[in-house]
Amino acid sequence: MAAKPKHQHDAPSLEHAFETMKNAKLKRTKSREAILKHLVENHGPFSAKELQQALKRRAKGAPTNSDLDTVTTYRCLASFEEAGLVRRCDFGDGVSRFELRGDSDHHHHHVICVECRKIEKLEDCHLDKLEEKVKALGYSGVKHVLEFTGLCRSCARKA
């Protein structure tokens, strides 16, 4: 069994991701395998374009990823989202990004550098009490989205 990435403590293994894909009746293609492998090994979220670029760099022209065009990438990600393998992240810039859903589906937020677009995961969420108040008002299916923006250290030093 593959080791879990240290940066994503609840990330499913590649084998578990393939099993979830199989249970969702998704065909195991080279494109889907490549995307899943990248998502298991690297914490996202990634846009479809970022995934394509990363996989092309990784493949170094190998024919296994040559069919990973924009449409194929989006279709794979949409299938993964429907199967519950990935979650879509919206940072208000018009670009959909996707990250692997963990085994526990641990809720977290992100901080995004407004200059270089670096994204870092924030493990803790302290909005549980506020979410409970919203539920007490009679709302169901309550979710929240909170993302932070600012300048990362590297970009702040350059400024």
- The 3 state secondary structure assigned to 62-115 is CHHHCCCCHHHHHHHHHHHHHHCCEEEEECCCCCEEEEECCCCCCCCEEEEECC
Helix (H, G, I), strand (E, B) or coil at 60: coil
Model pTM? Answer: 0.69
pLDDT 10s digit of each residue in the chain, 159 long?
333 333 444 556 888 889 989 999 999 999 999 999 999 888 778 999 999 988 888 766 554 445 578 889 999 999 999 998 998 888 878 889 998 887 545 677 888 888 888 888 887 788 888 989 999 999 998 888 788 889 999 999 998
Cα angle: 132, vertex 137, 141; to 5 degrees: 65
Distance between CA atoms of residues 50 and 104, nearest Å: 26
- Residue 148 pairs in a beta bridge with 111
Q: What Rg value do the Cα atoms of the chain yield, rounded?
A: 17
Contact 39, 100 (CB under 8 A): yes
In the chain the domains, ranked by start, together with CATH numbers, are 1-106 (1.10.10.10), 107-159 (3.30.1490.190)
